[in-house]
Chain A
Amino acid sequence: GQQLNQSPQSMFIQEGEDVSMNCTSSSIFNTWLWYKQDPGEGPVLLIALYKAGELTSNGRLTAQFGITRKDSFLNISASIPSDVGIYFCAGHNTGNQFYFGTGTSLTVIP
């Protein structure tokens, strides 16, 4: 199945720094979703985007739906230790299937 290209694959940052990651696809999507997965847990939905160009925030998290509808970006401002985890994107067009990114592993150094 189609996997979305997500970068970077991993990040090691100092507490307080900002984080940026992105997801690209060869296909157009109508919906972009961003998840966080903690070790041993299920993915938790952070932000949902439904419109090209849309910018949506959830606390310190901000995500954007790319104008081309083939990419999306997630930013985390002023990172804290509990931001540690794996972040991944998902895209959906019409039909029943969702497509997932390969994940970005985030480590925050206190």
Chain B
Amino acid sequence: NAGVTQTPKFQVLKTGQSMTLQCAQDMNHNSMYWYRQDPGMGLRLIYYSASEGTTDKGEVPNGYNVSRLNKREFSLRLESAAPSQTSVYFCASTNLAGVLGELFFGEGSRLTVL
């Protein structure tokens, strides 16, 4: 029972390089999210996808793009990485069904930008 799976778990980039973080969920959830977690800042929403085919900006979208490839997969792309994007990135999913929802997280992707 995998739940939410993120790859890669660790990545080191140089400033200006690009990369894509992958996320897949096997719970048939409609909604998927990308958060970043920084010391003292808590979880901050980057982008979310309420349903297949839709994406919306969250609190800190600058420097990121997302793709909801299908119902299972939601990827996060850094086109030109900056040191300020050094963080731990979490993908999450839920089935909000209008009101009630439990949010499940992946194990995280730890990104360092030099």
Contact = CB atoms under 8 A, between A and B. Distances in A.
Partners in one complex: yes
A96 B90 contact: no
A44 B45 CA distance: 18
Interface stretch (B13-21, B74-82, B93-101): B93-101
Contacts of A90: 103
Interface in A18-48: 30-31, 33, 35, 40-45, 48
A45 B103 contact: yes
A110 B92 CA distance: 34
B12 interface: no
Interface stretch (A52-60, A76-84, A97-105): A97-105
B90 A31 contact: no
B101 A92 contact: yes
Contact of A97 (B48, B98, B100): B48
A70 B33 CA distance: 24
Interface residues of A, number: 25
A33 B31 CA distance: 17
Contacts of B107: 41-42
Report which residue of B4, B106, B107 has the largest number of chain A beta carbons within 10 angstroms of its beta carbon.
Answer: B107
B100 A30 contact: yes
Report which residue of B4, B33, B48, B101 has the largest number of chain A beta carbons within 10 angstroms of its beta carbon.
Answer: B101
B59 A1 contact: yes
Given A1-B45, A43-B105, A102-B42, A94 B59 contact: no
A42 B43 contact: no
Nearest to A98: B103
Interface of A: 1, 3, 30-31, 33, 35, 40-45, 48, 50, 88, 90, 92, 94, 96-98, 100-103
